Amino acid sequence: MKTPVVITFTLLFLSLTLSACSWFTPYQQTLEQGNLSDPEQLNQLHLGMSAEQVIYLLGSPLIKTPDNPQEWDYIYQKRQGTKLLERTFMRLEFASNSKGQLTLQKISR
């Protein structure tokens, strides 16, 4: 008499534990990283701006390479779990003017 009850509970336990792995996925929060710039800010960006003006407008760059400090990268990405939802990339290149100040020379998107 106990054998059918034990088999039933064993099958019920196995089916519930295995189904929990496949039916439900955990909540995955949306994660935003980097520099988010709205189109209005990007429209104000133009060649000849000083490095200070660019930092005031867009914020500090996410990446400044040590071997070329006149090249700034602004990267933004939005993820949900491991799924990439959105990514934008912008590289600004500066050159020194006659006064030794950095001025914006090239914008790559």
Task: Give pLDDT, residue 21.
Answer: 61
**Distances from the Cα of 33 to the Cα of 9, 37, 40, 84, 104, angstroms:** 48, 12, 20, 11, 25
Residues 55-88 pLDDT 10s: 999 999 988 888 888 999 999 999 998 899 999 9
Strand partners, 102: 96
Would you say the pTM of this structure is higher than 0.85?
A: no
CA 17 centroid distance within chain? 35
pLDDT, mean over the chain: 85
Q: Which of left, alpha, beta for 62 (phi over 0: left; psi -120 to 50: alpha)?
A: alpha
Determine what percent of the chain is predicted with pLDDT higher than 70.
92
Domains parsed from the chain with CATH numbers: 28-108 (3.30.1450)
Instruction: Count other Cβ atoms within 10 Å, centred on residue 76.
Output: 16
User: Which residues fall within 8 angstroms of residue 78, CB to CB, at 6 or more apart?
Assistant: 30, 31, 32, 33, 84, 85, 86, 87
Handedness of CA 99, 100, 101, 104 (dihedral sign): positive
d(CA 81, CA 62): 22
d(CA 38, CA 43): 9
